[in-house]
Amino acid sequence: MARAAVSNAERRRTRQIAVGDVLIGGGAPVSVQSMTTTKTADVDATLSQIYALAAAGADLVRCTCNEQAAAEGLARIIPRSPVPIIADIHFHHEMALAALEAGVQGLRLNPGNLRKPEEIKLVASEARDRGVPIRIGVNAGSLHPELYKRFGGATPEALVESARMELAYFEEVGFEDVKISVKASTVPLMIEAYRLASETFDHPLHLGVTEAGPPPSGLVKATAGIATLLAEGIGDTIRYSLTADPVEEARAGRQLLEAMGLRERKGLDLIACPSCGRAEIDVIGVAKEAQAALEEKNLPIQVAVMGCVVNGPGEAREADLGIAAGRRRGHLFIKGQIVRVVPEDEMVSALVAEAERLVAEGIEARLAAADSSAAEEAEADRRALFEAKGEDANASEERVELIRKTIAEER
């Protein structure tokens, strides 16, 4: 079942801003962002992707605004979007002004590309008057040439200085609704830049490893950077920058926050054993089949698929629901307690059916509805398999006895 997020007491406290109805910083839940890959002028295609991103867990979606047609598209997209829209601006300040006219709830400016102080201050003034926040989106690959020269390359200090310079322009016109990112494609550089930014600014930070690449390596890089910082209490909103369908970005971001206890679980969390010589089934195949079937139902529970009944229910006792194989049967358990035994070829269908009942009725009701003979049948299967395939488990018990004997002798 869905679990509450962990306490935010140890998170770095920042100012709070609002992007539409999504609060960022100031103790608000860490939010997930992604970006559309469609042409923003193609309203229907962009909206379709926005809805898919929202369904996958995105709280905010960024769309490029690089031409007039894109700005006009935003004007048609925003009233129909399920989440707040941020306009991505690079070289032309007039596109930022047009996006504001379109009604965007946020802007992202790259200070390495939009460099004229008067244009920057004009955009900030317009955003201030409309109550629209701006992200200062620093990127190690597009710093101002003077910063590369001054700091000898894209260093953490150079990235933070770029953000500081932009922030100074905003302060000149009294604009404070700001979040900051200091992204790099190199994970150690990204981590150090954000650590320095967290010491320098009290504005909320948007985390990301830019240009992380395609999965699985891109997922690994992005997770390494983002999770490290979140574990240190740094970060108020995140984005996975993957060379993939952006839905994968939103899904990964949501799953990371749920895994770290920073967001309440909205979807499936499937865990599975890595398989071993005791496995009675194709664990990988069953896990994939179960994940596909359960994700389609969009149930907010943790489900375990275990290869054998010898240790499976015990090892996965914290899972809301699980199933373990044994002697051509599936042992269905809730919070480690066996509730029924089903034929092996019905394992996935039984798991899905029980998951739906669990969400609808609750854990206590489903435990009360357990088959009275299920625990006894499962124990018989467990003992039989333990004797047949539990050599390593038997050996561990022998080692326990040796430990006890050794300690007793030394006392």
pLDDT at 7: 46
Residue 11 in any domain: the answer is no
164 and 244 share one domain: yes
Q: Are 72 and 104 in contact (CB under 8 A)?
A: no
pLDDT in tens, 74-91: 999 999 999 999 999 988
Evaluate whether residue 237 is within a structural domain.
Answer: yes
**Average confidence (pLDDT) over 405-410:** 74
Is 305 contained in some domain? yes
Residues 107-136 as b or e (16 or more Cβ within 10 Å = b): bbbbbbebeeeebbbbbbebbbeeebbbbb
Tell me the pTM. Answer: 0.78
Contact 107, 134 (CB under 8 A): yes
Looking at the domain assignment, is residue 353 inside a domain?
yes
**Is residue 398 scored above 70 in pLDDT?**
no
pLDDT at 391 over 50: no
Q: Token digits for 105? A: 């709830």
Do 383 and 240 share a domain, yes or no?
no
**235 and 183 in contact (C-beta within 8 Å)?**
no
- Identify whether residues 194 and 297 lie together within a single domain: no
Q: In terms of domains, do 162 and 78 share one?
A: yes
Position 392 pLDDT exceeds 70? no
Largest CA distance in the chain: 84
Domain that holds residue 353: 269-393
> Do 279 and 185 fall into the same domain?
no
**What mean pLDDT is predicted for residues 95-117?**
94
**Is pLDDT of 12 > 70?**
yes
> How confident is the model at residue 119, as a pLDDT?
96
Q: Where do the DSSP E strands lie in 140-251? A: 178-183, 206-207, 237-238
At 292, which amino acid appears?
A
Looking at 259, 278, 301, the residue that finishes a domain is 259
Q: Is the pLDDT of residue 325 over 60?
A: yes
3-class DSSP assignment, residue 139: strand
**Same domain flag for 225 and 275:** no
When pLDDT is cut at 50, 70 and 90, the band that residue 399 belongs to is low
Q: Could you give the number of structural domains in the chain?
A: 2
209 lies in the same domain as 275: no
- pLDDT above 90 as % of the chain: 64
* Residue 96 maps to a domain: yes
Domain CATH number, residue 161: 3.20.20.20
334 neighbors 374 (Cβ within 8 angstroms): no
Residues in the chain: 411
Domain end marker among 240, 259, 278? 259
Q: Is the pLDDT of residue 139 over 80?
A: yes
Q: How far is CA 113 from CA 109, 110, 359, in A?
A: 8, 6, 50
Helix, strand or coil for residue 387?
Answer: helix
Q: Quick one: tokens of 97?
A: 């002004």
Residue 403 inside a domain? The answer is: no
Contact 358, 366 (CB under 8 A): yes
Residue listed under structure tokens 């979040």? 179
278 versus 201: the higher-pLDDT residue is: 201
Task: Mark whether 178 and 209 lie in a shared domain.
Answer: yes
230 and 157 in a common domain: yes
Residues 232 and 286 in one domain: no
Last residue of a domain, one of 259, 286, 310: 259
Q: What is the mean pLDDT of residues 202-227?
A: 96
Non-local (6+) Cβ contacts of 398 within 8 A are: none
Identify the band that residue 41 occupies on the pLDDT scale cut at 50, 70 and 90. Answer: very high
* Under 8 Å between Cβ of 56 and 251: yes
Give the pLDDT of residue 154: 95
Residue 92 lies in a domain: yes
Residues 294 and 360 both lie in one domain: yes
Same domain as 275, residue 199:
no
In a domain, 211, yes or no: yes
Q: What is the CATH number of the domain that holds 316?
A: 3.30.413.10
171-192: pLDDT as tens digits = 999 999 999 999 999 999 999 9
What pLDDT score was predicted for residue 227? 98
Confidence at residue 385, expressed as pLDDT on a 0 to 100 scale: 67
Instruction: Name the pLDDT band for 285 (thresholds 50, 70, 90).
Output: confident
- Residue 164, pLDDT > 70, answer yes
